[in-house]
Structure 1
Amino acid sequence: MDLRFVWSLLGLALLPAFSIAAGKCERLVVTGSPDAPPYLWQDPQNPKHLIGASADLLQQVAGELGIKVELLYAGKRSQALDEVRSGRMDMLADAPLTVSELENLDYIHPPLLENDYLVWTRKDSTLVYNEAQDLHGHSGAVSEKSRLTSAFGTFAEQQLTLSRAPNLTQALQKLLLGEVEFVLAGRYSGMAMAQTLGMGNDLIARAQPVDRPGLFLAVSHNSACNDPWLRGQLAKKMTELPASGLTEAVLQRNIERWTAQQKQAPLHPASIQKQ
């Protein structure tokens, strides 16, 4: 028998298996930070789930790939990471890129979102800021939950006078009271928190980002869904996303969503805000 004919038959027999392998993951269980508006936070109507801009964008992308996504609360940030490392959950929706986690996670490039950290000051501030070095000699604050890039973190530790506040709420309050001259906070998280606290007319964010860490989709090495097809398709979608114009609209919508929720239920003083 012609060997070429045998191989062609064998190839046809294997095709369904390959098709199944490529599309085997019909559902992703995803988690992330439960307290990082407008990116992710617990749904007050259903605390077992996470909502926010990262959730909305991932749902959109996964829907286009025919994959169902469930965004579940897994505890605080460190607990969520443990759940994904173990493979009990498939993916983090807002992973900071850290070298140590490359042993546990496959990061999808480019990031789902870029979190611009801006210099926030009071409106009457005389601080002149064009670049990070300009902050040298001035007192500042940052939430201890902030996830800055390692390079900027090293620079800040060596060159800047930064006090660590338990959360973004307290950092912004220190700024308003004149205890510090500036706060480092994410563009959208700072906007959401300033509006929620009624500080929107008292504070301004300087235009030039001081740092720009990415918020990545990161798939567990132990996830049954982690295959080349999924990683490739997600990377393709992440590449297309910035040009779609969807990101900005989703972020603005979730700032409004978060602010409206806080008006319905007063902000708990112990709530921990990231960024």
Structure 2
Amino acid sequence: MGTPGSARARRLWRLVVAGLMAASMVTTMSARADPACKQLVATGNPEYPPFLWRDPANETRLIGANASLMQLLSKEIGVPIEVRYAGSWARVQEEARLGRVDLVAGAFFTTDRLDYMDYVYPPLRETSSVVWERQGATQKYQQWADLKGRAGVTVINNSFGEEFDRFARANLKIATVPSLEQALKMLQLGRVDYLIYEEDPANAYIAQLGIGGLVAASPPVSNERLYLTLSHKSSCNTPEMRAALAKALYKFGRQNVMKKLVDAGIQLWRTQ
């Protein structure tokens, strides 16, 4: 059974989404998708609060800011969008590669991903990826070169932008693990010297797990744009669909929709 705070946060979440949907319906729909596409299946990183995480009430679904954005997008383009849990972040990318899902609701740009996904512009949001260290670490991070010779960790198939990814492949020793929780505990226990991950999702997990003594170093490793992507193998990947999605995202960007959804997502995650 949920707590009173959780119930309030869910009510707030529903009110925010309902209000944004109502505002969206006031104007004439400028984006129309290919009428041959009857439904889209979206998924994403399930360890990504406040953007995405598994719904405690139904773990086959994802909730969060990006999931709510898919609801608004569905209304705008006139095509139902189901936001489904598809496994780990590595698995999500494989599902997109195989065409088993249509949309990935939140991915950084890499040239490798262009082999199996189209990026929809404009981006959803800009996020910061940072180096997490133990408080009082003798070696302090200030620039990429400071990570050389130290043991790092991140989550499998994560990207932090083309430039840093190239630097890391050539110069750094970074292990990969299936989950952010595992990576945070490895850092806490001193099994690695640093973790690279996005600031907001890592902060959310640190608070949930009650982990102390970890700090985000400055400056960020990268500031990257987060995109909606469409699988090459999706039967709905047509010029009409790509145009409809892009027009809707442009409209939402002008209305500052994503900020409102992220703020509501943060409140909901904290109560859970």
Q: TM-score, structure 1 length as denominator?
A: 0.71
What is the aligned residue count? Answer: 242
The structure-2 alpha-carbon separation of the partners of 1:243 and 1:205, relative to structure 1 and needing over 3 Å to count, comes to: farther
Q: Distance in 1 between matches of 2:90 and 2:100?
A: 14
Secondary structure at the residue paired with 1:111? strand
- 1:56 is matched with which residue: 68, 88, 91? 68
Deviation, 1:96, is: 4.2
Q: Distance in 2 between matches of 1:87 and 1:178?
A: 40
Q: Distance in 1 between matches of 2:235 and 2:258?
A: 29
The structure with more radius of gyration: 1
Q: Distance in 2 between matches of 1:178 and 1:153?
A: 24
Deviation, 1:210, is: 0.3
Deviation, 1:161, is: 4.1
- Structure 2: 5+ residue stretches without partners: 1-30
Alignment root-mean-square deviation, CA: 3.2
Deviation, 1:209, is: 1.9
Deviation, 1:132, is: 1.8
Report if the CA contact (8 A) 1:145-1:167 is conserved.
no
- 2:130 is matched with which residue: 91, 94, 118? 118
The structure-2 alpha-carbon separation of the partners of 1:139 and 1:76, relative to structure 1 and needing over 3 Å to count, comes to: closer
Once the two structures are superposed, what CA deviation does each residue of 1:68-118 show, in whole Å capped at 9, x if it has no partner? 321122344455445444545322223443434434332212332334211
Do structure 1's residue 221 and structure 2's residue 240 form an aligned pair?
Answer: no
Q: TM-score, structure 2 length as denominator?
A: 0.71
Report if the CA contact (8 A) 1:31-1:71 is conserved.
yes
- 1:236 is matched with which residue: 237, 247, 251? 247
Between 132-141 and 47-56, report the one with greater CA deviation.
132-141
- Structure 1: 5+ residue stretches without partners: 1-18, 262-275
Between 89-98 and 235-244, report the one with greater CA deviation.
235-244
Amino acid at match of 1:104: Y
Secondary structure at the residue paired with 2:85? coil
Alignment of 1:2-41 (within 5 A): 22-25=34-37, 27-41=39-53
The structure-2 alpha-carbon separation of the partners of 1:164 and 1:218, relative to structure 1 and needing over 3 Å to count, comes to: closer
Q: Distance in 1 between matches of 2:238 and 2:173?
A: 45
Secondary structure at the residue paired with 1:97? coil
Identity of aligned residues (%): 36
Aligned to 1:203: 214
Deviation, 1:148, is: 3.0
Aligned to 1:106: 118
Report if the CA contact (8 A) 1:188-1:255 is conserved.
no
Deviation, 1:56, is: 1.6
Report if the CA contact (8 A) 2:33-2:243 is conserved.
no
Secondary structure at the residue paired with 2:78? coil
Secondary structure at the residue paired with 2:201? helix
